[in-house]
Structure formats: C-alpha cells, structure tokens
Amino acid sequence: MQANFEANANRTMRQALLFSVFIIASCGLVYELVAGALSSYLLGDSVTQFSTVIGVYLFAMGCGSWASKYLTHNLVKRFIEIELMVGLVGGFSAAILFLVFANIGYNAGVPFQGILYLLVFIIGTLVGLEIPLVMRILEQELTLKDLVSQVLTFDYLGALAVSLAFPILLVPHLGLLRTSLVFGLMNVFVAVWAVWVFRVQLKQAKALLVQCGVVTLLLLAGLVFANQLTQFSEEKLFDDHIIFSKSTKYQRIILTQWRDDTRLFLNGNLQFSSRDEYRYHEALIHPALSAITSPKRVLVLGGGDGLAVREILKYPSIKNITLVDLDSEMTAIFKSNLRLSELNQHAFSSPKVNIITGDAFLWLDQHQDFYDFIVVDFPDPTNFSLGKLYTNTFYKLIAEHLSQHGLAVVQSTSPLYARQSFWCINNTIESAGLIATPYHTLVPSFGEWGYVIASHLPYTSPKYIPIQNLQFITPEILPSLFVFPLDMQKLPSEINRLNNQALVHYYDAEWKHQGP
C-alpha cells in the first residue's frame, strides 16, 4: 500500500517528514510544560506538580508507542488524524485547565488534578503514537539504524528548542494560553502538509482537509478570545481585585475592590460589601438607637470596621463610644487607610470614640460601667471560640452593663438560611433575663439578615427617627422589620451555653455561609 515515489521527491519528502518530527516533538514538550507550569501556578508546589506531570506524560507516551503496533492500516491517514487530535486537545489544554480550575476553585484540588492528569495522559498517548508512526511511514526508505538515529535526533532537537524557548520567549510573550494554542496550530500545519504530500495515496484527502480546516478555525478562535478567556477565569478565581491582604495574629483580612464596590473578608467570610453595607448597618443601629431618649454612652463590641460607629455618631446627644475589638490591625487600617476611613466617614478619628484592643468577653468581665446602647457585632458562630460570644453567660454580662432604659442589639445571622441558629440566639438572650425583640431585613450581598434587640424594659419601635440622610431606615418601614413571614418564624431551641455550644452545632448543620 506504500506508494512509489520518484527518487527526488523521495528525498525532499524524507527531509520534510523529519522536520515534522522536529515540530511534533516541540509541540509534545510544550503541552507537557504548559500542564506543569499551569498546575504549579494554580496549585503551588512546583516540584511536585512538574514531576507528577512529567511522570504521567512519559508513562502515557510509553502507552502510546506500545499501542502504535495495533495501527496497521492507513498509517498516513491515522497519522494525520492523530496530529489533528494532538493539535486540538494540546492546543486547548491550557484553556481547559484554566476554566476547570476557575469553576471548581481552590477547594477542590482533587477533581482538578484528576482532569489535569487525564489531559496529560491523552496528550502523552497521542504524542507517543506519533513517532512510531512516522518511523513506520519512513521505514521503506531508510535502514532501521539510520531511521532510528535520524528520527531521534530531530525528536531531541525539537525538545531542546522548546525547552529553551518556553521560559525565555513563549511564556513571557504569549502566555500559557496562547502558547499552547499556537503549538496546536503547528500540529495542524504538519497535518495539512502531510495531506498534501500524500494526496495521491490518500483516499479521503478532501475530508481530511475539511477536518484540518475546522480544527484550525477553532484554534484561531481560541487565539482571538484568549484574552477574554484569561480574564474570565481569573475573575472567577479571584472574584475581585485584592487591594489589601494581611494575616494578623487573629485572622486573615482581605479587602477587594471591583469598580466602586469594596468588600471586606475575614478568614474568607464576607463581612460587608460597600454597595449595600448601609442597609446592614442602618438596620443594625437605628431601630434601637433612635428608640432611646437622649443616648449618651455607647459600647460597641466587635465592629472594627467602624461602620456601625459611623451610624452611631449621627446622634448628637452621644458623648462617648467605646469600641472593643480584638484586632488592632483591623481598627488601624480602618482609621488610616484613605478609602476605608472614607467608608466609615473617619469615625475612628472622632474625639468621642475610644478604641480598645481586647477580648470582648474578658473586657466585660473586668469592667463595671453601664451603657445606654450596646452593639454586639461579631462574626457568625462558625467555631467554638466565636460560639462563646453568643452564650447566655455572655448575654448576662451584657445585661449587667446595660442601663435600665438602655438597649443592646445583637447581629444574629440569617433567620432564613440559619433559622434555628437565629432563634437559638433569640432564645438564649431571653434565658439571660433580657427581653428579646427580633427583627430582620434584606442585605443583598448577604441575603435575608437578622438582629435581636435585648433590653430590660419592653422595646417599642420609634414613631420618629431624629436624624436625616438615611438611605434605608425610615419610621414607615420600621414596623415591617419586626414581622417574620412563615418561613422564618420562631422555632424552639436549646439555650446556647458555654458547656454545650448548641449554637455552633445548629449553625454548622444549617450552613457554612459567608456572612458577618
């Protein structure tokens, strides 16, 4: 079935085929390097990533060359098809890995690695098929010794060229995504050229050319959209642009900025989005504070972002605000950072505000003063150390520091997504001898959110709010906040105690949500 060629044509063709070995080898190595580089970029630990990728790749090549002995017919056609497949899979390998990773994210290393190795294995097997096929096509022209040495020479030359070019030229200028696409096109080029050379003996040369065309178009399209693709997946990965990140003794603080939206994450949990934090903080402060006649002394526990303090400072009668937060780095950046202190309207620079760095529970234990208004704004009870701050023992301390006519307000997670948890907080406050008045509102970036007002005397929502320029809370909507629709209505629950941490168990069962 091998065709007879003119001697002359034979020589050029042989040279050309050997050149194609060079290209094939280059492409093969590029895909291997792309996979290794990408996985170390995304997963870290480059030594492991590279060595596992190379291991899988070499193994797959072995499988491929072993499998090549089962290809006995239409060798040229098979070769062309394989080239197209390598071009397509290899060319898009970086894009596939990026997209998969962006969608699975950091939390799922194992599925991502599964897809990575599968891809490496497919490419490795196909590349492993190529060289033996080329050798068998050339078999007639050369003795085995010459054949092997020549093919291998070009194979290794290709590898050398790429291994030099990859870090120096390709990655810096093209990026991983485009590099793999470009080399995909080179595989297609070899395929097209092979169709042309063997056009006489190939029965379905036309059909093969059409296939080449389709793959070329796909790869070109990939090149055109490469930018958008990178951006899309990186956005998915990092969501927003990180403008500040710091690991303090207590937590990892991350601030992101996307257009006009600033977001604060503590240990990966969203604390606020500047787009709708006014809803959260107005609802936290004003229903209670506007109901107190002439409030003077305020205590804020948590709330190191100063946004609650910003709302409190709107009341001129207030003489002093004591804020107790665990993390001095947190209060420091919200005092000094331009963008952030703008967000809290320089609340921490007010002479009325006294910032104390300390543990809220211990601080209450060690101090005696009374307050007209107490804000309890801690992260959700995601672990036992936070769960302590939602116990009856803690609320008894709040009661001891709350003046007779004073009000306290407690951020109480979502009554919709964590209904049992919300009512557990409510019931625990009641068990500490306080009157609990629960309410809720919608904060789009969190969802439906809940608060509880705690007091010695019954709370009545104010008919009048003494301050202007609020964006959300008005006397008219106030009563509606206290209405709980059927799906959020009260549930019985255990009392959250230091010796049972019932709330953390409820919360754990209900969600691992991102919230304040």
Give least dist CB 358 to another protein, A. Answer: 9
**Positive/negative CA dihedral, 141, 143, 148, 153:** negative
Distance, CA of 418 to CA of 219 (rounded, Å)? 48
The residue whose two tokens read 């792309």 is 34
Which CB atom, from 193 or from 506, has the smaller least distance to another protein?
A: 506
Residue 397 CB, nearest approach to another protein (Å) = 9
The catalytically annotated residue of 155, 325, 327, 377 is 377
- Is residue 208 classed exposed, middle or buried when 0-12, 13-18 and 19+ CB atoms within 10 A define those classes? buried
Q: Which is nearer to another protein, 84 or 424 (CB)?
A: 424
Adjacent-strand bridge partners of 451: 411, 439
Extract the tokens encoding 308. Answer: 């609650």
Active site residue 305: no
User: Which residues are within 8 A (CB) of 486 and not within 5 positions of it... i.e. 6 or more apart?
Assistant: none
- Least distance between another protein and beta carbon 502 (Å): 8
Q: Closest Cα to residue 301, out of 355, 376, 353?
A: 376
What does residue 354 show for φ and ψ, rounded to 5 degrees? -120, 110
DSSP 435: E
- Give least dist CB 388 to another protein, A: 6
- Is the CB of 83 or the CB of 380 nearer to another protein? 380
CB of 252 to another protein, least distance (A): 13
Closest CB to another protein among 267 and 403?
A: 267
Q: Taking the complex as a whole, how short is the minimal distance between the CB of residue 361 and another protein, in angstroms?
A: 4
Rounded CA separation 262/245 (Å): 13
Alpha helices, DSSP H only, in 415-474? 419-431
SS3 content of the chain, % helix, strand, coil (to 5): 60, 15, 25
Instruction: Compare residues 56 and 434 and give the one whose CB is closer to another protein.
Output: 434
Binding site for another protein (CB under 8 A): 249-250, 326, 359, 361-362, 365, 383-386, 388-389, 391-394, 495, 497-501
Element (H, E) at 171: helix 171-197
Q: Specify the residue, 68 or 391, whose C-beta has the smaller distance to another protein.
A: 391
Residues with active-site annotation: 377
